[in-house]
Amino acid sequence: MDLKKIRNFSIIAHIDHGKSTLADRMLEITHTIETRKMRDQVLDSMELERERGITIKMQPVRMQYKNGSENYTLNLIDTPGHIDFSYEVSRALKAVEGSILLVDSTQGVQAQTLTTLAMAREGGLKIIPVLSKIDSPLSRVEDVKDEVVKLLNCNPNEILLVSGRTGEGVENLLNEVIKRVPPPTETFIDTNSCRALIFDFKYSNHKGVIVYVRVLDGKISKNENLLFSVSKEKFTSLEVGTFSPEETPCEFLRAGETGYIVTGIKKPGIASVGDTITLLKNPLPELPGYMQPRPVVWASVFPEDADQFNDLKAALGKLKLSDSSFSFEEESSGSLGRGFRCGFLGMLHLEIIVERLKREFNLALVVTTPSITYEVTLNNGKKEKIYSPYFFPEEGNIKEVFEPWVFVKIITPSVYLGPIMQLLFVHEAEVGETESFGDNRSSLSLKMPLRELMRNFFDELKSVSSGYASISYEIGEMREANVTRLDLLVAEEIVPAFSRVVSRKRVQEDAEEAVEKLHKLLPRQMFATKIQAKALGKILSSRTTQAFMKDVTQHMYGGDITRKMKLREKQKKGKKKMKERGKVNIPQEVFLKMMRSGEN
């Protein structure tokens, strides 16, 4: 196929601006999917994506489209909109030449729109501005057009209007993609070799690792001997094909196309996102890959049943093969046994991984309170990186602590600026510039500790702005932190899963809150159970859960009172012995509810 007849593009937008619905209409118009097989969110193949109505994994698809008398191949990559999955977006943008910037005409430009646009511009992509949901009675086309003109410094006539629900304007958009997005070009005109960039991969029990590639030079056929440039591993392409949207085998993939290669490799750690695939006998230079994602949230995951440790290890390995931004390593805790310390790109990422472990692998888990990375210098001068609150040094052993800060962008209707400013003060933020952003909206630039961003900030921001504020952030510098470790004790034993690192300014408030919450959630035991919060070397808050009571004398009628007294004394001794030797069984739901901020 002529390279001039190929267009590679993606759709980028803030969450819930209609990317998946627009992709559905494109698949319909190009007859990529038969009408009888059509359904909503057709590219969101994961059960969780369909359930939550969000895109989690980028999804490539190939469409054949006739423009006038010419036939074109359109390779689309549908990307996630949630801030936690920005890494997925950045990888998708390396595999395309152009991007549709989709803006909801009822909501206007949002914070994550700015983040994804910056990524696309950095990659030198051709941007096509598009307003969605123009059929909605709440649509504000002219106002939002002005915002986009200001953002892109473009002509208002360049902005296209579509409705993903009705299909209005979608055919015109496809024609404009062909007109505006440049065709792919080859770097090396070398008929004796090939080169492709891996932008994603997944794992199949039968086929091994299946890599998703954008071919940049030459062509890759079935049964060719190939090489991973970074890992230096050799393999044979057992199958090559395209996404239509299911995996469809073909004879070869050529320069300018996106598709998949079945490697047959079943070992983890060999294929990696950003690696280059080239011909074994005549390798071409490797391509610049991707920046390795840095986990920002850490949590330890333990199997509820110690016998499931190996099952959990295998499950994490398989998830890592389909999600390269997720990381894990083995660790051990005295009371929770063997488990894994896992790194995530955000709280939603953590929630999705935990949910997938439970659904796809039937595992019962204990997940510790999420934490971030602290850099601690001890009194003896030794420096340590602390990923788990349980290993945060004791009070008195620390010389200094550093924590990550984030650069945050918030876009909000100006009427909510007052309550948002109060919220920012509570969360230790440093507010920078405030700009007017059209339609009585303001854009706030600020810095704040990542620890505070995780402390229910997203939910509180949505609450004080009635859901209208949007937020995006990126990791900034490390700064000195005024923090301490807060432990929760149940029956006078520390529960590592409940330990957390908190601001010294809020330690008393956090201690009381945590004790109160656990007191409500913990089921009653056969003996009175004390719940305490300890920090700064002392107990800051305490509550006692009453024991189950049983009247041991209920079967007795009349008789000497001393017999009843003896039975009650015996019961009292039994309860005391149970308290000394008994272990409190904390159900899995309690761990999960304690992990989720604001849930009772």
Q: Where are the domains of the chain?
A: 3-180, 195-279, 297-367, 375-480, 484-595
Tokens 């849930």, residue located:
599
- Examine the pLDDT at 531 and tell me if it is beyond 70: yes
pLDDT average, residue stretch 124-152? 90
588 or 224, greater pLDDT: 224
Instruction: Decide: 199 and 91 in contact? Cβ < 8 Å.
Output: yes
Q: Residues in the chain, how many? A: 600
pLDDT band for position 269 (cuts 50, 70, 90) = confident
Other CB atoms within 10 A of residue 204 CB: 14
Is 375-480 assigned to CATH 3.30.70.240?
Answer: yes
pLDDT band for position 291 (cuts 50, 70, 90) = low
Going by C-beta distance under 8 Å and a sequence separation of 6 or more, which residues neighbour residue 556? 563, 564, 567
Q: What is the pLDDT of residue 552?
A: 47
Lowest mean per-residue pLDDT among 154-163, 296-305, 548-557, 578-587: 548-557
CA angle 219, 204, 355 (to 5 degrees): 125
pLDDT average, residue stretch 272-290? 80
- The amino acid that residue 446 corresponds to is L
Rounded Cα distance, 43 and 246, in Å? 9
CA nearest to 46, candidates 305, 283, 356: 356
Q: Give the 3-state secondary structure of 32-95.
A: CCCHHHCCCCCCCCCHHHHHHCCCCCCEEEEEEEEECCEEEEEEEEECCCCHHHHHHHHHHHCC
Rounded Cα distance, 155 and 146, in Å? 10
Q: What is the pLDDT of residue 430?
A: 93
Six-digit token string for 309: 């440790």
Going by C-beta distance under 8 Å and a sequence separation of 6 or more, which residues neighbour residue 124? none
- Examine the pLDDT at 42 and tell me if it is beyond 50: no
Q: What is the pLDDT of residue 394?
A: 83
Rounded Cα distance, 502 and 525, in Å? 29
Three-state DSSP at 326 gives coil
Is 297-367 assigned to CATH 3.90.850.10?
Answer: no
Q: What is the pLDDT of residue 411?
A: 86
* CATH number attached to the domain at 195-279: 2.40.30.10
% of the chain surpassing 70 pLDDT: 81
E strand intervals along 361-418 = 365-367, 374-378, 383-386, 398-413
Rounded Cα distance, 527 and 530, in Å? 10
Q: What is the pLDDT of residue 405?
A: 93
Does residue 245 have a cis bond before it (omega within 30 degrees)?
Answer: yes
Q: What is the pLDDT of residue 554?
A: 54
* CATH number attached to the domain at 3-180: 3.40.50.300
pLDDT in tens, 61-106: 888 888 888 899 998 887 764 554 555 566 667 778 899 999 999 8
| Average pLDDT score over the chain | 81
pLDDT in tens, 322-340: 676 788 888 876 666 788 9
pLDDT in tens, 15-32: 676 777 888 888 888 888
pLDDT band for position 49 (cuts 50, 70, 90) = very low
pLDDT in tens, 384-426: 988 888 788 887 888 999 999 989 889 888 899 999 999 999 9
E strand intervals along 345-456 = 365-367, 374-378, 383-386, 398-413, 430-436, 441-449
Rounded Cα distance, 248 and 461, in Å? 45
Instruction: Decide: 521 and 498 in contact? Cβ < 8 Å.
Output: no
Query: How is residue 579 annotated by DSSP?
Result: H
Lowest mean per-residue pLDDT among 287-296, 457-466, 478-487: 287-296
What CA dihedral angle connects 578, 579, 582 and 587, to 10 degrees?
Answer: 120
- Displacement of CA 69 from its chain's centroid (Å): 43
pLDDT in tens, 480-521: 999 999 999 888 888 887 888 989 988 999 999 989 988 888
Element (DSSP H or E) covering residue 330: strand 327-333
344 or 584, greater pLDDT: 344
Q: What is the pLDDT of residue 160?
A: 94
Q: What is the pLDDT of residue 190?
A: 56
* CATH number attached to the domain at 484-595: 3.30.70.2570
- Identical fold between 375-480 and 484-595: yes
Q: What is the pLDDT of residue 525?
A: 62
Rounded Cα distance, 330 and 353, in Å? 17
pLDDT band for position 158 (cuts 50, 70, 90) = very high
How would you classify residue 456: left for phi > 0, otherwise alpha for psi between -120 and 50, otherwise beta?
left
pLDDT band for position 571 (cuts 50, 70, 90) = low
pLDDT average, residue stretch 301-314? 87
What is the Rg, in whole angstroms, of the alpha carbon atoms belonging to the chain? 28
- Examine the pLDDT at 200 and tell me if it is beyond 90: no
Instruction: Decide: 343 and 328 in contact? Cβ < 8 Å.
Output: yes
